[in-house]
C-alpha cells in the first residue's frame, strides 16, 4: 500500500472523555504508527480562550505524518478540533497566570495491518487536561544529566518529528537520571557523541556573553514551537541567536543554560553534569532566560501585546 491516499478525514464530534476501541491488528499497536502533539489553551484577562499557535502544531503533525507514512488531517481540521475541545472544556481552564488547559492531539494508525505496511485507516482525536504552571515561581532550576549511553535519535531516524516511537526508548535514561536526583537528561548526537541535541521534552539553549546558541534542527531534534517563539523574542530584544552544532563542552562553559517547551515554557538550568563533572550556572531574576520567560508568559496571558499574532481566539 501507499503512504498517502486521497481519503480525507470525516467531520468529527465532541464526546465525553472515555476509552478508544482498537483492533488488535491496528498499525499503532503493532508498528508504532502514532504521532502526538501538545499545545495549551489559556484564559485571557477578558475571559476569552487563547490558543497558542495551534496552526504550528497542525503543520508539525503533517510533517510527522509524511515521515511516518501516515494520513494527516488538514490544518483547518486540526485547529478546529483543538478549538472545539478547548471550548467544551472551558470551565476547566484556570484563571490567567494560574495554569492552562493542556491539549493533546493524537494521530493513530487504527486500521489493521498484519505485515509491516502503513495502516489502511487513521483516527485523529484531541483530549485535554488542566495543568498548573510546570514550575512554581521561585522553584529551583533544573539539574540536567548528559547521557552518553542512550541516544534519542539517529541520522535518518524520526527524531525530528513527534512520533510516539521516540519516547519509550529513552524512558530508561530518564528514570535512571531521576533516581540519581537529576531533573532530566540532555541527549548527545549519535555520530560524534559530542554535540548536544535536546532534553526529553524540551529544547535547549545556552547563553555566552550577548550570544544565545541552540542546536540546529537537522532532523534529529524536535522543532519546538516554543523554541521558535523564543528565538523571535530574543532577536527582538537584540540578542544574536545562533542555530548551529553546539558542543557539549560549550554547555559546560556557558554563562547560562535554559530549556523551552510547551510544558515548561522557559525553564532555567541550575547545573549540568557530564562525565562526573558538574557545573553550576548563575540563577536569579537578572537572567536572560527570565526576561524571555516573562515576555512569553506575558503574551500568553494577554498582559503583553501579541504583536506576533500568535493567538487564535475562541
Which residues are catalytic, by number?
Answer: 162
Chain centroid to Cα 65, Å, comes to 16
Q: Cβ distance 53 to 229 under 8 Å?
A: yes
Q: Which of 82, 222, 254, 287 binds ligand PMP (CB under 6 A)?
A: 222
Q: 56 in helix, strand or coil?
A: helix
Contact status: 71 vs ligand PMP (CB under 6 A): no
Cell of 66: 509524511
Cell of 25: 491488528
Give the range of 177-185, 244-252, 255-263, 305-313 binding ligand PMP by CB under 6 A: 255-263
What does the angle CA 131 – CA 136 – CA 140 come to, to the nearest 5 degrees?
Answer: 130
What are 261's strand-pairing partners? 265
Contact status: 225 vs ligand PMP (CB under 6 A): yes
**Nearer Cβ to ligand PMP (71/226):** 226
Task: Tell me how far, at minimum, the Cβ of 201 lies from ligand PMP, in Å.
Answer: 4
According to the 3-state scheme, what is the secondary structure of 76-135? HHHHHHHHHHHHHCHHHCCCCCCCEEEEEEEEEECCECCCCCCCCCEEEEEEEEEECCCC
Q: Cβ distance 107 to 34 under 8 Å?
A: yes
Task: Tell me how far, at minimum, the Cβ of 59 lies from ligand PMP, in Å.
Answer: 11
Q: Cβ distance 296 to 73 under 8 Å?
A: no
**Nearer Cβ to ligand PMP (33/262):** 262
**Nearer Cβ to ligand PMP (118/185):** 185
DSSP of 238-284 = T-EEEEE--BHHHHHT-SEEEEEETTTEEEEEEEEEETTEEEE---S
Contact status: 160 vs ligand PMP (CB under 6 A): no
- In the window 81-110, what residues touch ligand PMP (CB under 6 A)? none
Q: What is the dihedral of CA 226, 209, 251, 262, to 10 degrees?
A: -10
Contact status: 38 vs ligand PMP (CB under 6 A): yes
**Nearer Cβ to ligand PMP (92/167):** 167
Compute how many residues bind ligand PMP; rule: CB under 6 A.
Answer: 13
- Taking CB positions, which residue lies at the least distance from ligand PMP? 224
Q: Which of 89, 143, 226, 295 binds ligand PMP (CB under 6 A)?
A: 226
Task: Tell me how far, at minimum, the Cβ of 8 lies from ligand PMP, in Å.
Answer: 26
Give the range of 97-105, 175-183, 219-227, 272-280 binding ligand PMP by CB under 6 A: 219-227
Q: Which of 29, 81, 146, 202 binds ligand PMP (CB under 6 A)?
A: 202
Chain centroid to Cα 254, Å, comes to 24
- CA atoms of 197 and 214, how far apart (whole Å): 9
Task: Tell me how far, at minimum, the Cβ of 33 lies from ligand PMP, in Å.
Answer: 18
Q: Which of 27, 96, 141, 224 binds ligand PMP (CB under 6 A)?
A: 224
**Nearer Cβ to ligand PMP (111/128):** 128
Q: Which of 54, 93, 108, 198 binds ligand PMP (CB under 6 A)?
A: 198
Which of 234, 228, 233, 275 lies closest to 251 in space, CA to CA? 275
Task: Write out the residues near ligand PMP by the rule CB under 6 A.
Answer: 38, 198, 201-203, 222, 224-227, 260-262
Amino acid at each position: 500500500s501507499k503512504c498517502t491516499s486521497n481519503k480525507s478525514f470525516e467531520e468529527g464530534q465532541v464526546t465525553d472523555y472515555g476509552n478508544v476501541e482498537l483492533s488488535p491488528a491496528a498499525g499503532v499497536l503493532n508498528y508504532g504508527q502514532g504521532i502526538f502533539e501538545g499545545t495549551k489553551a489559556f484564559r485571557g484577562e477578558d475571559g476569552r480562550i487563547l490558543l497558542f499557535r495551534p496552526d504550528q502544531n497542525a503543520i508539525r503533525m503533517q510533517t510527522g505524518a509524511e515521515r511516518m507514512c501516515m494520513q494527516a488531517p488538514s490544518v483547518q481540521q486540526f485547529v478546529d478540533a483543538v478549538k472545539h475541545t478547548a471550548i467544551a472544556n472551558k470551565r476547566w481552564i484556570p484563571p490567567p497566570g494560574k495554569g492552562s488547559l493542556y491539549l493533546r492531539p493524537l494521530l493513530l494508525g487504527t486500521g489493521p495491518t498484519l505485515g509491516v505496511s502503513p495502516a489502511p485507516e487513521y483516527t485523529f482525536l484531541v483530549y485535554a487536561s488542566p495543568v498548573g504552571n510546570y514550575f512554581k515561581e521561585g522553584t529551583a532550576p533544573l539539574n540536567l544529566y548528559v547521557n552518553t549511553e542512550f541516544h534519542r535519535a539517529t541520522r535518518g531516524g524520526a527524531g525530528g518529528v513527534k512520533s510516539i516511537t521516540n519516547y519509550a526508548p529513552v524512558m530508561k535514561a530518564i528514570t535512571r537520571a531521576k533516581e540519581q536526583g537529576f531533573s532530566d537528561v540532555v541527549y548527545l548526537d549519535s555520530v560524534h557523541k559530542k554535540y548536544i541535541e535536546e532534553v526529553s521534552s524540551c529544547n535547549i539553549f545556552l547563553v555566552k556573553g550577548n550570544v544565545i546558541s541552540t542546536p540546529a534542527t537537522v532532523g534529529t531534534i524536535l522543532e519546538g514551537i516554543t523554541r521558535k517563539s523564543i528565538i523571535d523574542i530574543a532577536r527582538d530584544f537584540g540578542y544574536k541567536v545562533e542555530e548551529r552544532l553546539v558542543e557539549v563542552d560549550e554547555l559546560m562553559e556557558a554563562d547560562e543554560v535554559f530549556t523551552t517547551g510547551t510544558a515548561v515554557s522557559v525553564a532555567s538550568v541550575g547545573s549540568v553534569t557530564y562525565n562526573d563533572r558538574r557545573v553550576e550556572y548563575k540563577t536569579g531574576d537578572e537572567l536572560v532566560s527570565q526576561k524571555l520567560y516573562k515576555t512569553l508568559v506575558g503574551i500568553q496571558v494577554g498582559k503583553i501585546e501579541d504583536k506576533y499574532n500568535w493567538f487564535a481566539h475562541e
